[in-house]
Amino acid sequence: MKQASNWTVYGQELGSRLFIGTALYPSPKVMVDAIRASRAEVITVSLRRQAANQSNSGEQFWQMIEDLNCHLLPNTAGCYSVKEAVKTAHMARELFQTDWVKLEVMGDSYNLQPDPFALVEATKILIEDGFKVFPYTTDDLVLCQKLAELGCEVLMPWGAPIGTGQGLLNPYALKTLRERLPELTLLVDAGIGKPSDAVQAMELGFDGILLNTAVAEALEPQTMAYAFADAINAGRLAFEAGVMPKRDNAKPSTPTLEQPIWQQG
Amino acid sequence: MNSKQQIQFNGTSLEVDQQHTVSSLLEAQAVAGRFIVVINDEVVPKASWDSRAIAAGDAVEIMSPISGG
């Protein structure tokens, strides 16, 4: 099968255009099988304080992600303030030994919508601290432009709220981001429910997809991971091939030239 | 006999010897696996674990990797 072109994320060349999460799988083995099937080269991870009665928690998970041999993208999930997010990013850098951070600063607990003001502030601090920031953002154009001005090379607007599987709720906004920020690496992060949602985003010219729930909560996560891998590749190939423009009027696909005279006029 | 001091350890109060460094506290609490140490919201680099003394009132947190989306 033909593969879409390689791409670069903060100087790191990648083949797969799928970033996949490590949460919500029915078992560790299912997680490992699904991530392998997805062919993802970047996986998202997180961190938490050890429980009082678990002095070696995290070791099993660490072994599994080491065996997967993927690039790690730690997140700041659960943070609702600049201070929390910056602190979590610093802890993640120390724990996972990477400058990459998926910056999440939530503004509302109902739809887990990013707080645009806090996101900009936290991004500014973390870039000054030497991080390579992957902001989880809304699809607001001006917000994304501000994040780019601060030095983000990658932006990750939502397709829909996290875990909803609603697909691309505002394709117009995503298309506008692609058109207005042609130099930026753009991934749709969150809201992808099925492979066709991912294809739609890739056909719009997005560089990649970050998802978790759509695979982890499928009846067969490994099979769904195969489906997403193929879908994302297909969507990117379609974008690279150039999708034909839509027309209002029909146009015959079979040539009429040289038809017998009795069929004409 | 060592005198004692109160600290916060992973969110709960704990009475420990006054002489503890980060390293000896980790050993005493049998902390293992992949983790980092955060004291009063600041990451303590591993290179400092042997020298960083634990003080009364310190909030010590052990952070470990978990799955994430």
CATH number of the domain encompassing residue B21: 3.10.20.30
Q: State what percent of residues in chain A have pLDDT above 70.
A: 96
- Which residue is closest to B8 within chain A, CA to CA? A52
pLDDT at A51 over 70: yes
A39: left (phi > 0), else alpha (psi -120 to 50), else beta? left
pLDDT reported for residue A241 = 96
CB contact under 8 A, B65 and A51: no
**What is residue A258's DSSP assignment?**
T
Give 3-state DSSP helix, strand, coil % of chain A, rounded to 5. 40, 20, 40
ipTM (interface predicted TM): 0.90
Please choose, from the candidates A199, A185, A94, A64, the residue with its C-alpha nearest in 3D space to the C-alpha of residue A134: A185
pLDDT at A264 over 80: no
A 84-143: CB under 8 A from B: 87, 90-91, 94-96
Distance CA A77, CA A203 (A): 29
* Chain B environment of A103 (Cβ under 8 Å): none
pLDDT grade for A265, boundaries at 50, 70 and 90: low
- Kindly state the helix (H) or strand (E) to which residue B4 belongs, with its residue range: strand B4-9
pLDDT reported for residue A58 = 81
- Kindly state the helix (H) or strand (E) to which residue A147 belongs, with its residue range: helix A141-150
pLDDT grade for A99, boundaries at 50, 70 and 90: very high
* Chain A environment of B69 (Cβ under 8 Å): 21-24, 44, 75, 77, 162-163, 212-213
Residue B2 C-alpha, separation from nearest chain A C-alpha, in angstroms: 24
Please choose, from the candidates A100, A99, A75, the residue with its C-alpha nearest in 3D space to the C-alpha of residue A88: A75
Contact A228, A214 (CB under 8 A): yes
Chain B residues at the A interface, defined by Cβ less than 8 Å, are 9-12, 29-36, 38, 41, 43, 45, 61-69
Residue B64 C-alpha, separation from nearest chain A C-alpha, in angstroms: 5
A 1-20: CB under 8 A from B: none
Look at residue B56 and tell me if it is in a domain.
yes
pLDDT grade for A88, boundaries at 50, 70 and 90: very high
CB contact under 8 A, A50 and B31: yes
Total of domains in chain B: 1
Nearest CB among A50, A51, A163 relative to B35 is that of A50
Give the tens place of pLDDT for each residue, A204-256: 999 999 999 999 999 999 999 999 999 999 999 999 999 999 999 998 888 87
CB contact under 8 A, A45 and B38: no
Mutation to test the B interface, candidates A63, A94, A209, most B Cβ within 10 Å: A94
Average pLDDT of chain A? 95
- Inform me whether the C-beta atom of residue A40 falls under 8 Å from chain B C-beta atoms: no
Distance CA B63, CA A47 (A): 6
Domain coverage including residue B38: 4-63
The answer for residues whose C-beta is within 8 angstroms of residue A252's C-beta and 6 or more apart is none
pLDDT reported for residue A218 = 98
- Inform me whether the C-beta atom of residue A75 falls under 8 Å from chain B C-beta atoms: yes
pLDDT at B51 over 80: yes
Segments of A63-179 assigned E as strands: 71-74, 100-103, 106-108, 113-114, 132-137, 154-157
pLDDT at B49 over 70: yes
pLDDT reported for residue B26 = 95
Catalytic positions of A: 102
How do beta strands A106-108 and B12-17 pair?
A: unpaired
Distance CA A102, CA A225 (A): 21
Fold designation for A7-263: TIM Barrel (3.20.20)
Look at residue B69 and tell me if it is in a domain.
no
pLDDT at A185 over 60: yes
Distance CA B24, CA B15 (A): 14
A214: left (phi > 0), else alpha (psi -120 to 50), else beta? alpha
pLDDT reported for residue A205 = 97
Segments of A163-206 assigned E as strands: 185-189
pLDDT reported for residue A55 = 62
Average pLDDT of chain B? 94
Q: How far is CA A156 from CA A39, A98, A190, B54, in A?
A: 20, 19, 9, 41
